[in-house]
Chains A and B, each alone.
Chain A
């Protein structure tokens, strides 16, 4: 099945639920969701070169928040959306390696400051994998 995401009600911040068939798929979907927040991409412009990323965290759920914060920081510095991910590998439950590719954003629109550890969830949900992340807006 295709990965999915849904915004949840939160009075002050942005809470999003993600689903995918595999944990790797969940991390890729999280990157896509974050990239969509950055703003519109100009048509016809070549993407950047692939960049290698490694993230290590205290545990599996915080790996997702740390992965998102890694992408968020890179995005803001370069005004780029990192929605393309390949060769994503999860090791030891709290370590990630991947290649990401950014595209310049035409008009930067993201108001996200960071992914938080508050209410962070990541685990199996029936046959799929599910995560809940709260971003500070």
Chain B
């Protein structure tokens, strides 16, 4: 695909018309500037977005967020909606890490009074198992795991006392998708997830201690409890092995049923089934259970963060470590848009509802939903607020990060983990990562410029900047 195949329809908006390919059922739009667009045109990302536009029941338009890059099946940063009840649901449109997401905690701790943050970062890394194995802090009996899968965060907060009631108001969907059915989750998935609750995992997952560096919108920042110079903690993880196995199971199942439903796809990883078919309903129930597991995972990590902070800073009360919001960025959700019931697939994309949306808690009714755009461990992250225009422009979505621009192999060719560790520490960032290789793979230069990405998100009317956060401590798996 060439640059000339896209039509510039507005500032930061480019479109590939439906007529571009005979099998497309909707046009494709991407939000980018010329430089980000150039990056999208390298590799398969655009081609993959056009493939998404062939899914049965896809409606209006499919969207590529400013951080879009090549994935498998769906591109990372792809958003598509299918008409309910007969349009399809695609496990590949959610991804293996179901409800991978981000949550931000604020504290009243002023950076300038804290001195060396090494003990804090060290204690956090000890309390939050980072590796890919199963070292979770909570042993769950089978019935308790079912409680997690069926009830999500409310189960941990209300039944186990692991969190505060106000955490639930500030979690997307209250931390629970009610369609969850643990019976649709395979035993293998449960075995993979057993012992992983409260663990971060590896890859690009992290817990980051940050400083609120700059406010762009003071009233919105105030509604989120963000004050310049204060410490925050950003948590990025998902549903671990349990979610990975749910996706594996249902991609395989739906791939075997494509002929039954007369579905032809340009990429088998887009395998799907009508949402109202037995396979579609089963997947939506299993996906919801895995999403609930992921919310519980981030909730349990939140509890660990609170314990560490209140131990190291005894004057701090648990309720002062406030959850700003928790958003999913790999999920399929049944939503109403313009009076139409649709299944919105967000693969590497964040929900970004604007002010007044009935699903937002009272705290954010005027501000819009908090949206987090982590950059990289060496640069910074943005807190944004969803805009009402996102409803018409992206099914109420925005991007989920800066997006990779370099492969892991290429990153490792440019820097060693030890070098990078020294560079970050010289820049005042405390690093805890057991693997030098894993650290090098996530080098800041392997990601796109988060400033540019945030500018495009705002220019496109998806979300507006509220605050910029600067990393002070990074814990990686």
Using a CB–CB cutoff of 8 Å, the interface residues on chain A facing chain B are: 7, 9-14, 58, 62, 66, 69, 73, 76-77, 79, 105, 107-111, 113-114, 116-120, 134, 136-137
Q: How far apart are the CA atoms of A111 and B434 in the complex, in Å?
A: 13
Task: Please name all residues of chain B whose beta carbon is closer than 8 Å to the beta carbon of A12 when the two chains form the complex.
Answer: 69-71, 76, 404, 407
Assess whether B408 is interfacial by the CB under 8 Å rule.
yes
Say whether A108 contacts B251, CB under 8 Å.
no
B428-450 near A? 1/0 per residue, CB < 8 Å = 00000011001000000000000
Task: Please name all residues of chain A whose beta carbon is closer than 8 Å to the beta carbon of B101 when the two chains form the complex.
Answer: none
Say whether A108 contacts B188, CB under 8 Å.
no
Task: Please name all residues of chain B whose beta carbon is closer than 8 Å to the beta carbon of A14 when the two chains form the complex.
Answer: 408
Assess whether B43 is interfacial by the CB under 8 Å rule.
yes
A109 → B minimal CB distance (Å): 6
Q: How far apart are the CA atoms of A76 and B406 in the complex, in Å?
A: 28
Task: Please name all residues of chain B whose beta carbon is closer than 8 Å to the beta carbon of A114 when the two chains form the complex.
Answer: 96, 244, 247-248
Known: A13-B72, A113-B96, A137-B203. 15 other contacts (CB 8 A): A9-B407, A11-B43, A11-B70, A12-B71, A12-B407, A62-B268, A69-B248, A73-B248, A77-B191, A105-B133, A109-B438, A111-B132, A111-B202, A117-B251, A117-B271
- In the assembled complex, 28 residue pairs joining A and B whose CB atoms fall closer than 8 Å, in A order, are A9-B410, A10-B70, A11-B406, A13-B71, A13-B72, A14-B408, A66-B252, A69-B252, A73-B241, A76-B241, A79-B133, A107-B434, A109-B131, A109-B132, A109-B202, A110-B202, A111-B201, A111-B477, A114-B96, A116-B72, A116-B73, A116-B251, A117-B268, A118-B269, A120-B268, A136-B72, A137-B203, A137-B408
Assess whether B359 is interfacial by the CB under 8 Å rule.
no
A7 → B minimal CB distance (Å): 6
The 9 closest A-B pairs by CB, nearest first: A118-B72, A108-B133, A118-B269, A117-B268, A111-B202, A113-B96, A113-B244, A111-B203, A116-B72
Using a CB–CB cutoff of 8 Å, the interface residues on chain B facing chain A are: 43, 69-73, 76, 95-97, 131-134, 188, 191-192, 201-203, 241, 244-245, 247-248, 251-252, 255-256, 267-269, 271, 404-410, 434-435, 438, 477
Say whether A73 contacts B192, CB under 8 Å.
yes
Task: Please name all residues of chain B whose beta carbon is closer than 8 Å to the beta carbon of A119 when the two chains form the complex.
Answer: 72
Which residue, A11, A108, A134, has most C-beta atoms of chain B within 10 A? Answer: A11
Contact among B69, B71, B76, B192 with A76 in the assembled complex (CB-CB below 8 Å): B192
A112 → B minimal CB distance (Å): 9
- Residue on B nearest A77 in the bound complex, by CB: B191
Task: Please name all residues of chain B whose beta carbon is closer than 8 Å to the beta carbon of A79 when the two chains form the complex.
Answer: 133-134
Q: How far apart are the CA atoms of A105 and B134 in the complex, in Å?
A: 12
Q: How far apart are the CA atoms of A114 and B269 in the complex, in Å?
A: 12
Task: Please name all residues of chain B whose beta carbon is closer than 8 Å to the beta carbon of A69 when the two chains form the complex.
Answer: 248, 252
Say whether A11 contacts B409, CB under 8 Å.
no
Say whether B407 contacts A11, CB under 8 Å.
yes
Task: Please name all residues of chain B whose beta carbon is closer than 8 Å to the beta carbon of A137 when the two chains form the complex.
Answer: 203, 408
Q: How far apart are the CA atoms of A11 and B255 in the complex, in Å?
A: 25
Q: How far apart are the CA atoms of A107 and B477 in the complex, in Å?
A: 12
Contact among A10, A13, A62 with B255 in the assembled complex (CB-CB below 8 Å): A62
Task: Please name all residues of chain B whose beta carbon is closer than 8 Å to the beta carbon of A7 when the two chains form the complex.
Answer: 409
Task: Given A113-B96, A113-B97, A117-B255, answer yes or no on A108-B132 (Cβ-Cβ < 8 Å).
Answer: yes
- Residue on A nearest B271 in the bound complex, by CB: A117
Task: Please name all residues of chain A whose beta carbon is closer than 8 Å to the beta carbon of B251 when the two chains form the complex.
Answer: 116-117
Which residue, A58, A69, A77, A113, has most C-beta atoms of chain B within 10 A? Answer: A113
Q: How far apart are the CA atoms of A73 and B194 in the complex, in Å?
A: 13
Task: Given A11-B43, A111-B132, answer yes or no on A77-B71 (Cβ-Cβ < 8 Å).
Answer: no
A55 → B minimal CB distance (Å): 11
Q: How far apart are the CA atoms of A9 and B132 in the complex, in Å?
A: 23
Task: Please name all residues of chain B whose beta carbon is closer than 8 Å to the beta carbon of A134 when the two chains form the complex.
Answer: 72
Task: Please name all residues of chain B whose beta carbon is closer than 8 Å to the beta carbon of A76 when the two chains form the complex.
Answer: 132, 192, 241
B161 → A minimal CB distance (Å): 29
Task: Please name all residues of chain A whose beta carbon is closer than 8 Å to the beta carbon of B241 when the two chains form the complex.
Answer: 73, 76-77
Q: How far apart are the CA atoms of A106 and B255 in the complex, in Å?
A: 36
- Residue on A nearest B245 in the bound complex, by CB: A73
Task: Please name all residues of chain A whose beta carbon is closer than 8 Å to the beta carbon of B133 when the two chains form the complex.
Answer: 79, 105, 107-108
